[in-house]
Chains A and B, each alone.
Chain A
Amino acid sequence: MDDVLELRAVTRTFGQRTALDAVSFAVRPGRTTGFVGANGAGKTTAMRIVLGVLAADSGEVTLGGDPLTLPVRRRFGYMPEERGLYPKMAIADQLVYLGRVHGLSRADARTRTAALLEQLGLADRSRDLLHTLSLGNQQRVQVAAALVHDPVLLVLDEPFSGLDPLAIDAMGELLRSRAADGVPVLFSSHQLDLVERLCDDVVIIDDGRVVAAGEAGAVRSGSADRRIRLVVEPHATSDATFPTGVVGASVLSHQGDGWVVALAAGADDQALLAAAQAHGVVREFSPVVPTLAEIFREVVR
């Protein structure tokens, strides 16, 4: 059950365009992995390759070290970017059908469907046709379709798009509970604040290349620049040139007594502190961890 999903040097081209260029990252069990990138960066292509809907030109995808085969992929749960279920089929019927397509016996598919619909609060709508449901409820059925066969890996393409704040919370809860059961969960999203809040790991992809991957905290603090926020009340005698004397420090913003200073790799933050103390009374000296959105803008630029 505790198998890591790994992509190694996966490349895929469409005609002249390279959609994925040697993409490598891992999705670890028991953790939620956020997949971040601009439109057209290659998120959906990568997910489709994991699911086997598309074939990679080169590179490999493994689960627990074994290459993916159809019987293994059949146990994956998938929520495609473009939502899709049968509009004119009763929701219980289509969940049972999808469960069976994923290899459940009829009895198991029925049991799982009933339990899921109960859990999602749709038990009384089970005989209704999908297209008669509200969009929010259709989305819930879509989630149920990804979960009905109790998947060993969850891949969700933009699971939060079109959800209201309450539904977003419910979806986040659901992803985290799946991950807590030991299932690797990979999802893409444009909503970086959500990814920051929900994800243990982050993969940032830009123009077909992975530009950052790893634990969310590490990705944030490991960005090229360290940033320090300072509040210094200057001595009456100080000149206004702080902190020009510190090697590798540059001022990102300055307002009244407050500064945000970027330190280049190798720059000494203690030198900055000393310079600040020489300049005045240090009221605040704290490292600033950039938000994912800031990092994203930075690496994608």
Chain B
Amino acid sequence: MSGSVRSTAGELTAWTAVRVVAGREIAVKLRDRAFIGSTVFMLLLVTAATVIPVLLSQQTPALRIAVQGAAAAQVVDLAAALGEQAKESDSAVPPTLALLGAGGLPAADVTSVEVEPGGDVQRLVLDGDVVAAVVGDELDGLRVLGAQGVPSEVDVLVRAAATQLQIAHAAQDGALTDAQVQALTSPAPPAVELLDARPTGSVPPELLVIVFAFLFYLSVLTFGMSIAQSVVEEKQSRVVELLVAALPVRWLLAGKVLGNTVMAVGQIVVILGAGLLGAMVGGQGEVLRQVIGASGWFVLFFVLGFVMLACLWAVAGSLASRVEDLQSTTVIMQVLVIVPFFAAVFAIDPGPTQRVLSYIPFTAPLLMPARVVLGNAAAWEPVVAALGVLVTAVLFVLLGARLYEGSVLHTTSRLKAVQAWRGATR
């Protein structure tokens, strides 16, 4: 048996070695409870974020309204009709805007409950049998009763119905034609024309940008930390001496970066996928198209941006000699991630700042995909920015590899980057 083993031992290509090292990183991550926990948590968060608004916006409220008096009955009937009508043309106007009275009317299933004259309407409202009551025999003397408050849908619908009826009566008294009455009760709204139209989506693009930026930030921070930890764990447990006796240090570094990049991108793709699935189930086709359009650039910038910083994270790990040192050796890296994140969030509005930041390699992965989503980037711009990030990534990988080589075997104390630079020449 040993003969056959000996024939294979020692022959190891760089790619096999990198794959073996990356494979260990991935296997360790897949068994890491913190990693599984955070992935599940983010999945739940994203699913909730996409599904809940959909459920909320699609649920038409069912409202029971008590009615007392002839005019009240007339108004509530019309309000029910208006609510029904709004349901059919729901997609045209966001419910929030409708509630403000800015556009059409809110959709609602209004049921009226007749109360005999003299019946205790107040009791019904206070007991919660109905959400509100409309009382009155005259159109201009209606009262709307609520317990602690009146649901905004009821308020808006009843108000609109009463107004329409009063205008109609007044118009009839003034002997206007049907067309004139129609113009009075349903005036034609001004047509809105966008001169610099953005891609339309039911989710504001700014929100998508912030979600992208946050995902990138979270991912780089957690996986960067995990690269640094994996490096220092090997230093602290001294296993690195065994590994370095068998592998060039660069292969080891490449394997670590590859393994963690695969996991980071995998996690992001799974989370984005869950979000898209949620949106699809929720019927937000618009969001889907919008995200898929931008996700190519997002993933590309994500990979480049992640690799750019990954080797430096490994250096931060190898400058430490114990896990306890990581806090101090990773400070610079944390700053390199947090500052661009906040810069990107503050530069969310299109403008010269955003344009400049979208070319700086640290903020480009956050802002250039954002500009693509917002539609204010020319076709060549993301390509140029991606090349910029790529060049920086190559430089950082070379720098990181040298510092890592210079420090990974120094197991006794914390190092400074300068010492690591000098150490690599030995």
Contact = CB atoms under 8 A, between A and B. Distances in A.
B402 to A, nearest CB: 15
Interface residues of A, number: 38
Contacts of B244: 52-53
A102 B246 contact: yes
Interface in B1-48: 1-2, 4-6, 8-12, 17, 20-21, 24, 27-28
B5 A84 contact: no
A84 B9 contact: no
Given A104-B8, A108-B4, A82 B411 contact: yes
B247 A86 contact: no
A74 B247 CA distance: 8
B415 to A, nearest CB: 15
A82 B4 CA distance: 32
A173 B241 CA distance: 26
B238 A83 contact: yes
Given A73-B245, A103-B10, A108 B5 contact: yes
Contacts of A51: 245
A145 B9 CA distance: 14
Contacts of A152: 6
Contacts of A196: none
Given A89-B28, A108-B4, A150-B5, A84 B11 contact: no
A132 interface: no
Given A100-B20, A101-B21, A74 B10 contact: yes
A89 to B, nearest CB: 7
A20 to B, nearest CB: 14
Contact of B239 (A75, A85, A104, A112): A85
B242 interface: yes
B237 interface: yes
Contact of A149 (B9, B237, B248): B9
Given A53-B409, A89-B28, A82 B241 contact: yes
Contact of A76 (B4, B243, B245, B426): B245
A66 B244 CA distance: 21
A70 B252 CA distance: 14
Contacts of A71: 10-12
Interface string A184-220: 0000000000000000000000000000000000000
Nearest to A99: B9
Interface string A79-112: 0101111110100010001101111110010011
**Which 9 A-B pairs give the minimum distances between C-beta atoms?**
A84-B238, A84-B239, A103-B12, A51-B245, A82-B238, A75-B10, A80-B241, A100-B20, A103-B10
